[in-house]
Structure 1
Amino acid sequence: MSVPTFLLGVTVTLLTLLTGSESIKTTILNPIKTTGDEVGLIFIPGAYITADQYEKTARAIQEATELQVWVALTGDYNFNLASFKQVELAVGNAISEFEKAGMTSGNYVGVGHGWGGHYLQDYAKASNLKALILMGSTLSRKTVLRSYPIPVLTLAAELDGLTRITRIVDEYEKLTVNKLSFFKGLYKTPVILIEGANHAQFGSGNITSLLKPYDLKASITVDQAHRMIGKYFDAFLTVTFSADDSKIDEAINELSEAFLNSVKKFQPFLDVRNLDTDGKESMWTILAQDFFAGEYPDRVAVSNKILENPWFFGTEPSTSMAAGSMIVDTVALIHAADKSDRVQMVMDMESPREIDMKLVAKNAIWKALAGQNDTALRSEPNTCKSLNDLALILALYASSETARERYLTQGRQIVLETDAMRGANILWAPSPLQMWEDEAGLHVRSIALVTSRDHYCKVMSPYRAMEWVNVDSLRPYRFQG
C-alpha cells in the first residue's frame, strides 16, 4: 500500500515548490429549481479525479432538493491534486463566478472528496464558507467535531477502501463523548454511512489506476449511490439554510434516521476497538485470561494493566488466593497502528498491529483451584492460536450479516497458523507477531512462551480481525503493496 501514499507525498512536496498554480478552471451549474433558498456548492476533487467526474453527483443533489442549488466544479489542479493554496484560489474563483451568474445569498458550502477534503477543511475554518461537506474524507484526528466553527456533514461509504470505515468510526466516536454532542450531531455535525457504496462513487467514471486497486468493489450502482448522496445533501442543506420551518423539521427527521441507522454500523466497530484498550487496561487480555481459566472462570478474578517497554519486558503476571478464588493481575503491551493526517485517504489499517499478553497458564490455574487429581482442565490445553481464533469469532459476530457474508463468500480468509514457541522472555519479547498475506488470505502465527506458571502470547487484536473481515479481505492479493 505504500506506493500511492509515497507518490502522493512526493507530489505534495513538488506542489509546494511550484509558483505557477494560478489556473484553476471553474464550471458553474445553474440551479434547476426556481424557488427555495439559494445554496452554492463548491466541489474540491479527490486525488487524480477531474472536475467533470462530479457533474452527475451534482445533478443528483440538485434533483433531490427543493433548494436552489448552484454548483461550482473546480479542476485543473497541478497534477490533479488539490493543495491549500489552490483550494483558496478555487473557492475565491467559484464565489466570483456565482456572483457573476446571479447568485445573491452568500450561502457557500465547500464539498471536499477524499484528498480535496483534507485541504478544504483547513481553509474552511476561516473563510466565506458557511458549511462543509466531506465525502469519503474526514476532519483531522485532533479536531473535535462540536468545536468546528461551521456545520459539517461527514458522508462515508461502507466499502471505501481509501478512507476506510474504521477511520470514520473515530469521527463517530467524537459524537459519543456526551449527550449534547450526540444530539447536536444529528443536524450540525452528522456522520452518515452509505451502505454498499465505495470511494469512487462519490464521483463517476473511471478512477485512476493508482488508486483503483485500493478501493473496494461496490455492492450498489453509481446511480443508487448518487441518489443516497442527494438525499443526505438535501437534508443537511435544508437544516442548515432553509427558512421553511416545516421543511427543516422533515430534514431533521431525515438526518436523524440516517444517523441512527449509521450508528448501528459504527457502534459494533467501536465496541470491538475498545476491547483492545481503553488506554489503561486491555479487556481483550482480561477475556483471554478468563478463557485460559477453562472450567473455573467464576473462581478467577482478572485485572489488567497496560505497560510500555521497558516496564512490560520486566513485569510478570501475579497471582494470589482469597476465599478459595484466584486473583490474577495480567499485563499487556499494545502495538498501536501508525496514524497520521498527512495523507487523508487512510489506506493503512487503523487497528493495533499486535497485542502482547502475559497471562497465567491454564495448568497453573488447575493446580491452584482443582488439585492434582482433577483432570478437567488438562484435556484441553490452551494455545495462543486459540486466542486468535477467539478474536476472529468476536470480529465475525460483531460484523453485520452482510459483511460476514461478503467475507465468507468473497473475502480472503484469516488463516491461523500453529504457535511459534520461544524458550525465554528475552527471546519472546523481541519477536513480533507473524502476519503475512498471500492469495489464500492473511496468515497469523502467534509467538508463545509457556512455563509452569505463565503463558505469554503475542496475538491478533479483535479489531484487526474485524478490519480485515470488513475491508482488507475484499482486495485481491495481487494489489497488495
Structure 2
Amino acid sequence: MDLITINMPCQDIYVCKGKGCFLVEGLCLYQFSMESYLFTIPGIILQDACPLRLWVAVLDPPEDATLTLDNLPVLLYEVVDKLNDAGMGSRAELFLAAHGQAGHVVSVYTEAVPGTVRGLLLLGTSHHSSISLVTFPVGVMTIVGELDGLTRLTRIASTVQALEAASSRDPGLIIRNPLVILDGSNHAIFIGDDLPSPLHEFDIDPEVDQLEVLREAVDLISLFITNTLQEPTEAVKRARETFARSFEHAQNITEPIRALQNLTQGEMKSYWVKMAQKWLSGLEGKESSLLEVDSFVTTSEIVPLPPTLGIEDGINYVITFSDVTYPGRIDTPQSDNIATAQTAPLEIAARMIGPERIQKYLLNTTIAQNYTCKDLNYASFQTAYHTASKKARIRFDHVDRYVSFQPDIVKDSEIEWEHTPLKVEVVGHELQVTGISYKTINDENLSPYAGLYFCKLLPPERAMEWIYVDYIRRNAVPT
C-alpha cells in the first residue's frame, strides 16, 4: 500500500493509493468511500483547524472491492504500520470516520473492538440499526446534511428521538455523541458534489455554499476530537456549549417528523388509526363524544383479531387491531441499497368497524358522512403536509409533481385484503395512491365479523418522507 505525501505548511497528509479515507499524530482519523483524492480537501482543512498535531490518511479497499468486516481490519493494520514507519508513533489515538454506506461497517467493527478506537465519525451516514448510541463503547459524532437524499433526515430523526430519551437520564450523552444537521447541505458535502451515478441522482441539490459549510463541519469535527481527548481545556468548554446548541437545532428540524412517527405507532398503539376510526364512524359534533376508540398495533406472530364494539364503565368503546408494515432491512453491514431505502412504514393494515354497525349500536345517532379508505389516505397526506416545516413545504411545492388519491380497490375476502398492499405508483408526473378495502355486511349472524371496514392506510410518516426526501431528490421519483 503506497503512500503519497502532500506537503503542508506544518503537517503532512498521507493518501493511500486507491479509493476512499483520512490520518494524525496524537490521533489518527480514517475515512472510507469514493475516490481518495476527494477526501484530501476535508483532511487538509481538518489539519489546519485542529490544535493537535494530526496524521491524516485516506484509506480504501482494493480496486473494485467494497469495504467489509473482513477487509477492514487488514486495511487498518497496513495503513497504521505504514504511518508508524513514517514517524507517527504507536501512542497515537485512532479515530475512524466513514462516509455513506461504509458507516454501517465501521460502526459494527468499532463496537466489536472498542479498545482499538478512541472515537467514531459518521459523515452523511448513521449507525447500523442494530446498534444503540446510548450503549456504544466510544464517542460518536454524526454529521448529516439536512438535504441528504441518501441518509434520509427521517432516519436521523429516529437517532434524535433515542438521544433525547437517553439524555434525560444522562445529559452528557449529547456532548459525548454530538449530532449535527447541516442546513441546506446534501450527501455530497464531504466529497465536493462528485457522487457517482446513480447516487448523484438520488441526492438533493444543496442550497448553500458547500465549501463554506464543509469548513464549519470540519471545525466541529476538530472540536469533537479535542473534546474526546479532553485537551486543550478551552476547546472542551466550547464543545459543551456548541454541541448542546447543535442537538437543540437537530431537535427543532426533526420535530415534525418525530411527531408523525409517534402518530403512526407508539407504545404498541396507533393514534392515527384511532383518528381514522373516529372519522369512519360518521359521528360529528356532540355525537362524536358518544364513542371512544382504542387502537392497538399487533405483531406478525399474533393471529389477526377483529375489532370489537362494546361498553365498559358506561363508556362505548371500539377497540381496533392493526398491523404496521415496514420496509425490509437494508442496512446490513454489506448492504448497498442505501440510495433507495425507505425508513418510514409502507402501510397500516387497519381493521375497523363500519358506520352502520356503530349507528345501530348507539341508536338515535346520524351518519353525517360516509368516508372511504381514499378519504382517510388523503387526510394522512394533508396531515403530513401541514405538520411539515414551512421550509419543507416550500421545497415540496416547487416540484413539478403531484399526488392524487384514487378510488379504493374493494376486495371480496379478508385473505385477499391481507395479501394486497397499499398501491403506490408513479404515472407520468403524478404519484397515485390507492387504498385497499374490505367490508362485511352488518348482519348479526356474522358476529363478531358483522359490519367491519378494513383499510390499507397510508402512514402519515410515509407521506412526510415523500415531502422531506423523495419528492425533492434530483430524480424526484417517490416510492
Which TM-score band applies after superposition, normalised by the shorter structure?
0.7 to 0.9
State whether structure 2 residue 262 is matched by structure 1 residue 271.
Answer: no
Structure 2 residue corresponding to 1:119, chosen from 105, 117, 125 = 105
Alignment coverage as a number of residue pairs? 450
Work out the CA distance in 1 between the residues paired with 2:373 and 2:226: 54
**Structure 1 residues 256 and 476 mapped into 2: Cα distance closer, same or farther (>3 Å)?**
closer
Partner in structure 2 of residue 304 of structure 1: 295
Compute the RMSD of aligned alpha carbons.
2.9
3-state SS in 1 of match to 2:237: helix
In the alignment, the residues of structure 1 paired with residue 127 and residue 336 of structure 2 have an alpha-carbon distance, to the nearest angstrom, of 9
Q: CA deviation at 1:340?
A: 3.4
**Mapped contact 1:42–1:74 kept (Cα < 8 A):** no
Deviation at 1:140, TM superposition (A): 1.8
How far is the alpha carbon of 1:134 from its aligned partner?
0.9
Shift, 1:367, TM fit: 4.3
- In structure 2, the CA distance between the partners of 1:462 and 1:79, relative to structure 1 (3 Å rule), is same
Q: In the TM superposition, what is the alpha-carbon distance from 1:167 to its structure 2 partner?
A: 2.2
Equivalent residue, structure 2, for 1:106? 92
Q: Secondary structure at the match of 1:111?
A: strand
1:354 partnered with 2:347: yes
Residues 52-72 of structure 1, C-alpha deviations (whole Å, 9 max, x = no match): 101222233334443333311
Residue 436 of structure 1: SS of its match in structure 2? strand
- The one-letter code matched in structure 1 to 2:148 is D
Alignment of 1:422-441 (within 5 A): 422-441=411-430
Pick the aligned partner of 2:325 from 319, 327, 335.
335
**1:449–1:479 CA distance, 2 compared to 1 (3 A):** closer
Q: Please state whether the residue corresponding to 2:235 is helix, strand or coil.
A: helix
CA deviation profile, 1:369-393 (whole Å, cap 9, x unmatched): 461xx65x33x22111121122112
Check 1:152–1:40 CA distance in 2 against 1; reply closer, same or farther (3 A cut): same
Deviates more, 1:81-90 or 1:435-444: 81-90
Structure 2: gaps of 5 or more residues? 13-23, 443-450
Which of these residues, 135, 141, 146, is aligned with residue 153 of structure 1? Answer: 141
**C-alpha separation in 2, matches of 1:464 and 1:397:** 14
Per-residue CA deviations over 1:19-58 (Å, capped at 9, x if unaligned) read: xxxx475656758589xx9544433322xx1111012222
Q: Which residue of 1 aligns with 2:216?
A: 228
Q: Which amino acid aligns with 1:58?
A: G
1:419 is paired with a residue of what secondary structure? strand
Asked whether the equivalents of residues 415 and 442 of structure 1 are also in contact (C-alpha less than 8 Å), the reply is yes
Query: Residues 411 and 348 of structure 1: is their aligned pair in 2 closer, same or farther, counting only changes over 3 Å?
Result: farther
- Gaps of at least 5 residues in structure 1 are 1-22
Task: Tell me the alpha carbon deviations over residues 273-298 of structure 1, each in whole angstroms, 9 at most, x when there is no partner.
Answer: 12222352222111211223431332
* Alpha carbons 2:31, 2:99 under 8 Å: kept: yes
Instruction: Give the Cα separation in 1 of the matches to 2:298 and 2:470.
Output: 29
Does the 8 A contact of 1:31 with 1:70 survive in 2? no
Q: CA offsets, 1:184-220, max 9 Å, x none?
A: 3222122221122111112125211232222222222
Shift of 1:172: 2.6
1:178 counterpart = 2:178: no
Whether the 8 Å contact between 1:330 and 1:357 is mirrored in structure 2 is yes
Report how far residue 414 of structure 1 moved. 2.6
**DSSP-derived class of the 1:44 partner:** strand
How far 1:399 moved relative to its partner? 2.0
Q: 1:399 to 1:60 in 2, by over 3 A?
A: farther
Give the deviation of 1:97 after TM superposition: 4.3
Which one of the candidate residues 149, 152, 167 is aligned to 2:155?
167
In 1, are the aligned partners of 2:470 and 2:478 still within 8 Å (CA)?
no
Tell me the equivalent position of 1:446: 435
Aligned equivalents of 2:240, 2:357: Cα separation in 1: 58
**TM-score normalised by the chain length of structure 1:** 0.84
Which has the larger displacement, 101-110 or 112-121?
A: 101-110
**Rounded Cα–Cα distance in structure 2 between residues aligned with 1:363 and 1:28:** 77
Query: Following superposition of structure 1 onto structure 2, how do residues 178-327 of structure 1 map, counting pairs within 5 Å?
Result: 178-179=166-167, 183-278=171-266, 280-293=268-281, 294-295=283-284, 296-308=287-299, 313=304, 315-321=305-311, 325-327=315-317
Given the alignment, which residue of 356, 379, 396 partners 1:390? 379
State the partner residue of 1:459.
457
In the alignment, structure 1 residue 78 sits paired with structure 2 residue 63: yes
Secondary structure of 2:383 counterpart: helix
Distance 1:334 1:232, change over 3 A: same
Alpha-carbon distance in 2 for matches of 1:332, 1:478: 31
TM-score by length of 2: 0.84
Letter paired with 1:455: Y
CA contact (8 A) 2:203 2:474 kept: no
1:433–1:97 Cα change, 3 Å: same
Distance 1:435 1:312 in 2: 27
